[in-house]
Homo-oligomer: A and B are copies of this chain.
């Protein structure tokens, strides 16, 4: 049985303008890989209503689950929750469960639960909350879409809240072999190997270090024995890392 599939939607002008380097994609990719969910596509769009709504509508249909990052804070450019509500055709307003958890927090903190902060208690109808142990204002899940914050620390905490609720697949076994030769040398034997081990994924990742070219070969598959056999063949062709 193939693994469940996932897509990620990163929302935010700051990534597309180059102001901020995205970190959430890398984190989510690693967490999903560990539990055997295949991240198949990532999209990054700006804080633009039409772009967000149409991306959500297309990704939620195409993949088993969708994870969004960004645009759920209190400011005027945080429009993700409204866009998700629109994409699912449900209404959105301040919701009692989100309000309660936030009010309790601000009272305990001795700070004010301002109208602005109340914006973060706006949750689409039928959605369930995703816990935010960092700054309380929750994320939410509606059908197969998980809506989370963009600040990496909060995003990571929300991912940790969500992971135990996901049904994973067979985590891929993976082994890497480093060859100190360029891809031009490595490619032909690699192709033969790929034709023999059709149930393995054989990736070739070139690098350049101190002016010399090298290639990392990553062999992945559900069956560890197969992965080990293919790596052993590769090591026989390029002994001593091809030096």
Contacts and interface: CB of A to CB of B under 8 A. Distances in A.
A73 B204 contact: yes
A190 B153 contact: no
Given A29-B18, A183-B75, A51 B40 contact: yes
Contacts of A26: 18, 21-22
A15 B43 contact: no
Given A203-B13, A205-B14, A218-B19, A187 B76 contact: yes
Copies in the complex: 2
A4 to B, nearest CB: 14
B42 A44 contact: yes
Contact of A42 (B16, B77, B206): B16
A208 to B, nearest CB: 6
A73 B18 contact: no
A27 B17 CA distance: 10
A119 B76 contact: no
Interface in A151-192: 151, 153, 172, 183-188, 190-191
Nearest to A58: B58
Interface stretch (A93-101, A109-117, A122-130, A224-232): A109-117
What band does the interface of chain A fall in when counting residues whose beta carbon is under 8 Å from B? 35 or more
Given A25-B22, A77-B204, A202-B77, A218 B14 contact: yes
A9 to B, nearest CB: 10
Contact of A151 (B21, B77, B207): B207
B75 A186 contact: yes
Contacts of A115: 188
B33 A41 contact: no
Contacts of A185: 114, 116
Contacts of A205: 14, 19-20
Contacts of A191: 75-76, 116
Interface of A: 13-22, 25-33, 38-47, 51, 73-77, 114-117, 119, 134-135, 151, 153, 172, 183-188, 190-191, 194, 201-208, 213, 218, 220
17 contacts: A13-B201, A14-B203, A15-B25, A16-B39, A17-B29, A17-B172, A18-B30, A20-B205, A25-B44, A43-B43, A74-B183, A75-B190, A76-B187, A76-B202, A77-B204, A115-B188, A117-B184
